[in-house]
Structure 1
Amino acid sequence: MSLAEVAWPRRKLSVSRKGRWPVNWAIVLLDTAIVRLLFPLGGVGLAVWAGQVDTGLLNQLELSPALEGGAAFLLLDLAVWFQHWAAHKVPLLWRVHQVHHADGDMDVTTALRFHPVEILLSFFWKGAVIIALGASPEAVLVFEIALNGTAMFNHANARLPGCLDSALRFLVVTPDMHRVHHSAARNETDSNYGFCLSVWDRLFRTYVRMPALGHQRMTIGLSPEKSRGARRLGWSLLLPFRDNGRNP
């Protein structure tokens, strides 16, 4: 996706990669170290455990592996959509989630720019859902690969042909669709919460087709001050503890 951003950029970046990527990647490395240290087994390990103790909804139903895997994928994606929606609606959750939105440009590294506290909360939430569902390890693995892959795809500053974008967004979230969510306009920030499947935003009426100002003229981020601060690691990590958490 990084190569696609270079070959077919959608927007001109306001700040060079050199000015943004070191902090974004530093946050990624910190998040990875924390999760691996505290939760070495991850979601797949929780799914293995749930199967061993025969707990969870899907473990109680006699479904074919394909049907069980499909149901687990859909419900896990719905759970992530709900988590994202809650991160915008609950002030305490917004305090940490705004670190993701503070980035003044949007590219593939923005997909991975999450405060460590949000990463931990996300792990607990997904872990609880995995156990409650009794999702199989295979379904969890496929879901995690799809979630991470589509997140980097739909955050990428890459241009898709209009006809391809229109076709893809009936199933998955495209870069143009998710870019609306990173708009500085409040009504656009509170839309298009999906990371993988696009159906949930249509179902819950949070879908916005395009930004009011168009993709070239729209402002990405929260405010000029926060966009500047987002390029500093210490500022980004301390933002949830000094900001009032108000969704702009």
Structure 2
Amino acid sequence: MSVAELLLPRRDLSVGRLSRWPTNWSIVVLDAVLVRLIFPISGVGLAIWAQSNDLGLFNAFGWQGWLVGVAAFLVLDFAVWFQHWAAHKVPLLWRMHQVHHADGDVDVTTALRFHPLEILLSFVWKGLLIVALGAPPEAVLVFEIVLNGAAMFNHANVTLPKPIDAVLRLIIVTPDMHRVHHSADWVETDSNYGFNLSIWDRLFRTYIDQPAKGHLGMTIGLSDDMTAGARKLPWSLMLPFRPLRSRRQ
């Protein structure tokens, strides 16, 4: 996706990679280290453990097969949509999630720019659902691959032909669809929460087709000072502990 951004960029970056990528990638590394230290078992490992101990809905009823895998995938997909929606609606969660939105541009590294506390809470949320469902390990593995791949795809600063974008977004979230969510206009920010399937935003009426100012004219990020601060690692890590501003500022 990084190569695609270089070859087929959708927008000229207003901040640029050199001032953003060191911080974004540092956050990624920190997230990975913390998750592995605190949760040495992965989501797939939890699914295997639940299966071996007959835990969860599917295991309790002995349900197996590809239909169960599809059902588990859909539930987990909706769970991530709901988690994202809640991160914008619950002030405590927004404190952490605003680190993601403070980025002054949207590209493939923005997909991985999440505060470590949010990553840890996300792991707990997904882990509880995996065990409660008794989700098949294979379904969890596919879901985790799609979760990461789709996030990098729909955050990428790439151009898709409009006819292809129009067809794809009937099923999955495209870069143009998700970029609306990173708009500095809060009406647009409160939309397009999906990371993979686009059905949830259409179903719950949180879908906006295009930004009001167009993709080339829209402003991305939060306030100017927060966008500038987001380029610094210490500032980004401390942001959830600063006084919470009104989201309209």
TM-score normalised by L of structure 1: 0.98
* Greater displacement, 180-189 / 54-63: 54-63
How far 1:200 sits from its partner (Å)?
Answer: 0.4
Which structure 2 residue ranges, 5 or more long, are not aligned? Answer: none
SS at match of 1:5: helix
Question: Which amino acid letter does the alignment assign opposite residue 126 of structure 2?
Answer: K
Q: Separation in 2 of the partners of 1:60 and 1:10?
A: 48
User: 1:245–1:124: structure 2 CA closer, same or farther, 3 Å change rule?
Assistant: farther
The aligned residue for residue 243 of structure 2 is 243
Q: Residue in 2 aligned with 1:55?
A: 55
Match of 1:65 in 2: 65
**Aligned partners of 2:213 and 2:58: how far apart in 1?**
45
Measured on the aligned residues, the alpha-carbon RMSD in Å equals: 0.9
Match of 1:166 in 2: 166
Residue type of the alignment partner of 2:19? G
Determine the structure 2 residue equivalent to 1:15.
Answer: 15
Residue matched to 2:193: 193
The equivalent residue for 1:91 is 91
User: Structure 1 16/164 Cα, relative in aligned 2: closer, same or farther at 3 Å?
Assistant: same
Offset of 1:243 from its aligned partner?
3.1
Distance in 1 between residues matched to 2:42 and 2:16, nearest whole Å: 34
What are the ranges of 5 or more consecutive residues in structure 1 without an aligned counterpart?
none
TM-score when normalising by structure 2: 0.98
Q: Deviations over 1:71-118 (max 9, x none)?
A: 000000000000000000000000000000000100000000000000
Give the C-alpha shift of residue 59 in structure 1: 1.4
Deviation at 1:64, TM superposition (A): 4.3
**Residue 31 of structure 1 contacts residue 115 of structure 1 at CA under 8 Å; is this kept in 2?**
yes
Residue matched to 1:218: 218
Matches for 1:61-210 after TM superposition, within 5 Å: 61-210=61-210
Q: What's the offset of the Cα at 1:55?
A: 1.2
Q: Which amino acid aligns with 1:146?
A: V
Deviation at 1:62, TM superposition (A): 4.5
- Looking at structure 1, the residues matched to 127 and 117 of structure 2 have their Cα atoms a distance apart, in angstroms, of 15
Secondary structure of 1:106's counterpart equals coil
Structure-1 residue corresponding to 2:27? 27
Higher deviation after alignment, 49-58 or 25-34: 49-58
% identity of equivalent residues = 68
Cα gap change, 1:53 to 1:246, in 2 (>3 Å): farther
Decide whether the 8 Å contact of 1:211 with 1:218 is kept in 2.
yes
CA apart distance, 1:246: 3.6
CA contact (8 A) 1:24 1:109 kept: yes
The answer as to whether partners of 1:95 and 1:243 remain within 8 angstroms in 2 is no
* Count of aligned residue pairs for this structure pair: 248
Counterpart amino acid of residue 218 in structure 2: M
Partner of 2:46: 46
Q: Which amino acid aligns with 2:233?
A: L
Following the alignment from structure 2 to structure 1, what is the Cα–Cα distance between the partners of residues 194 and 18? Answer: 29
Of 57-66 and 156-165, more deviation after overlay is shown by: 57-66
CA–CA separation in structure 1 for the residues paired with 2:56 and 2:202 = 28
Q: 2:231 corresponds to which residue?
A: 231
Q: d(CA) in 2 for partners of 1:92 and 1:26?
A: 24
